[in-house]
């Protein structure tokens, strides 16, 4: 897609009748990888923009919201997270946030498309500052198979930093995948997955995630909401699941005294994100299978 200076990149959400646009300065990079079409643009006000298959993945200006909320709430909910696995996350922003935690001893980024990581290293170097950390490990291949092959009870936290639940990513939003994650997690392990827009997807993707996580054997699920301007509606979410670790548990003192800098996340944001809007409570309580769909 050729977009010249001053022109606009627009992502149209046809099913919802909405769209989002950013004014461009130039096309920085474009290629067809073995898996998808990948492009990077320089925008007028949001820094560099990554687009995959015509969909906005991230910008330099606002990605911190997503990456911090995909990592820190779950890390500060686990009592002692030492081994973390990120499924997807090829831009390395979530890996960077995870490795800010000195207690993390080992982090794996399992990304199907190595080109996303290599392009990020060139055009989003600020997200890749932890790539040379000795605790960082990279596997470029199928995340579904990687989780299926993981040794039982060996992981503390699984972060599913995936694209939308379509195409190759659809299997990351399934009972079978959640069950593989549960088996790989230790007794107090936590799964967290990006779960789309509360405004658009509570009755579909989010509700389905709660149900299928429960069907996989997780006893607790909670959805956290946070702003994300470049994603549909500007309002996004992630959903956590656990068996034994209470998802209300929060190492608040550790979060308050964290030995690293964040731009959005803090202890008050953590508490606020756990507060579920009334329309979401109603929707998730109306579970067709008669299964309690979330932890109140």
Domain boundaries of the chain, sorted by first residue: 8-59, 63-285
Q: What DSSP state is assigned to residue 24? A: E
Q: Class of the 8-59 domain?
A: mainly beta
Q: What pLDDT shows up at residue 7? A: 92
CA distances from 276 to 65, 164, 207, 243, 255 (A): 18, 22, 13, 20, 21
Strand partners, 39: 30, 51
Answer positive or negative: Cα dihedral of 97, 98, 99, 101: positive
Cα–Cα distance, 24 to 45 (Å, whole number): 9
Q: What DSSP state is assigned to residue 134? A: T
What confidence tens digit (pLDDT) does each residue in 230-272 have?
999 999 999 999 998 789 899 999 999 999 999 999 999 999 9
The residues near 135 (Cβ < 8 Å, ≥ 6 apart) are 99, 104, 105, 106, 107
3-state secondary structure of 52: strand
Residue ranges, the chain, pLDDT below 70: 1-2, 164-169, 287-296
Tokens of 180: 């593989």
Cβ 64 vs Cβ 264: under 8 Å: yes
Report which of 76, 68, 134 is spatially closest to residue 96, judged by C-alpha positions: 68
Q: Does domain 63-285 have CATH number 3.40.50.150?
A: yes
Q: What pLDDT shows up at residue 296? A: 47
Q: What pLDDT shows up at residue 173? A: 84
Answer positive or negative: Cα dihedral of 271, 273, 278, 284: negative
Active site members:
161
pTM: 0.94
Cα–Cα distance, 110 to 95 (Å, whole number): 10
Q: What pLDDT shows up at residue 294? A: 56
Q: What DSSP state is assigned to residue 242? A: E
């Amino acid at each position: 897609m050729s977009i010249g200076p001053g022109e606009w990149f627009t992502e149209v959400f046809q099913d919802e009748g909405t769209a989002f646009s950013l004014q461009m300065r130039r096309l920085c990079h474009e290629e067809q990888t073995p898996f998808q079409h990948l492009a990077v643009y320089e925008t007028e006000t949001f820094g560099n923009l990554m687009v995959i298959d015509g969909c906005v993945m991230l910008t330099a200006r606002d990605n911190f919201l997503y990456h911090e909320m995909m990592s820190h709430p779950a890390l500060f909910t686990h009592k002692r997270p030492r081994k973390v696995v990120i499924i997807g996350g090829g831009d390395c922003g979530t890996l960077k946030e995870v490795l800010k935690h000195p207690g993390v001893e080992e982090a794996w980024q399992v990304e199907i498309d190595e080109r996303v990581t290599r392009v990020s290293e060139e055009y989003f170097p600020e997200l890749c500052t932890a790539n040379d950390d000795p605790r960082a490990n990279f596997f470029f291949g199928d995340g579904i198979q990687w989780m299926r092959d993981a040794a039982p009870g060996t992981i503390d936290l699984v972060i599913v930093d995936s694209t939308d639940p379509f195409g190759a990513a659809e299997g990351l939003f399934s009972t079978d995948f959640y069950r593989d994650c549960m088996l790989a997690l230790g007794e107090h392990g936590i799964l967290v997955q990006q779960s789309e827009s509360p405004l658009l997807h509570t009755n579909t993707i989010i509700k389905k995630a709660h149900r299928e996580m429960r069907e996989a054997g997780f006893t607790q699920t909670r959805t956290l909401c946070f702003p994300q301007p470049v994603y549909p509606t500007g309002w996004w979410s992630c959903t956590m699941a656990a068996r034994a670790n209470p998802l209300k548990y929060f190492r608040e003192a550790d979060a308050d005294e964290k030995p690293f800098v964040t731009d959005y996340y803090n202890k008050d944001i953590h508490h606020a994100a756990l507060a579920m809007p009334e329309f979401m409570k109603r929707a998730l309580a109306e579970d067709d299978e008669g299964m309690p769909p979330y932890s109140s």
